[in-house]
Amino acid sequence: MTTNLSVNINKIATLRNARGENAPDVQQVAIDCERMGAQGITVHPRPDERHIRRDDVFKLRPLVKTELNIEGYPSPEFMDLVLKVKPKQVTLVPDAPDALTSSAGWNVTANAEFLAQIVEKLHDAGIRSSIFVDPDAVQIKAAAAVGADRVELYTKPYADTYPTDPAGAVAPYVAASQAAHKAGLGVNAGHDLSLVNLKYFHDSVPYLNEVSIGHALICDALYLGLEETIRRYKECLK
């Protein structure tokens, strides 16, 4: 099966915001990423708007021709945004408002009623739902039970262990993906995937629909250029 590459452009917005002007142009970068081969664009608008802003999301919606994936904690403000924008996919993360970055998946079983209500609202708006989870079969089955379409596997533990024990690092994700497929869920993955570890992950994990990559990809682009970087990441997914 084909595994799509969704480029997270948060770091582009971080760089823009450092000067308070419009360089680099977030909207143009999204257009360019698609032209260069990205099969999706991911953004994660946080409450403090330290990178992607609400108005960025509205501007990106008509420009993104592949898949717009919006990540975030489903606060009332976030849900108001995504129900107005209606992206192709919304990825629900359990981050606190002041979180520096995502650091764990949902405890879906403990939040089942809340997440079921959120997923229902997304489905009513025609939006595909994905729940950010650790590679844990119990939580994956719970995500299916609340009606999610996909799970996104939190891959930082894989990235941390990969340099010393690749097989051990990827084993929980192989089992998690198999559990998700058995439960009728699509499988996404993201966090600290890079040119160093992506190919092994892709070649090992079955049923992988999509990877969302931002920080490592933008860092690589500083040296390789954005187009060559996207080409190399897509090469890892063949």
Going from the C-alpha of 28 to that of each of 12, 32, 92, 165, the distances in angstroms are 10, 6, 26, 39
Q: What is the mean pLDDT of residues 82-98?
A: 90
- Give tens-digit pLDDT for 124-152: 999 999 999 999 999 999 999 999 999 99
- Say if residue 100's pLDDT is above 60: no
Query: Cα–chain-centroid distance for residue 206?
Result: 18
Q: What is the pLDDT at residue 104? A: 84
Please state, rounded to an integer, the average pLDDT across all residues of the chain.
96
- Say if residue 113's pLDDT is above 90: yes
Q: What is the pLDDT at residue 221? A: 98
Q: What is the percentage of the chain residues whose pLDDT exceeds 70?
A: 97
Q: What is the pLDDT at residue 237? A: 98
Q: What is the mean pLDDT of residues 204-225?
A: 98
- Give tens-digit pLDDT for 17-76: 999 899 999 999 999 999 999 999 999 999 999 999 999 999 999 999 999 999 999 999
Q: What is the pLDDT at residue 120? A: 98
Q: What is the pLDDT at residue 96? A: 67
Q: What is the mean pLDDT of residues 2-30?
A: 96
- Tokens 């970087």 correspond to 229
The residues carrying an active-site annotation are: 44, 71, 191
> Which amino acid makes up residue 135?
P
Q: For residue 21, how many other CB atoms are within 10 A of its CB?
A: 9
Quote the CA–CA distance of 142 and 68 in Å, as a whole number: 25
Q: What is the pLDDT at residue 1? A: 78
Q: Give pTM, 2 decimals.
A: 0.95
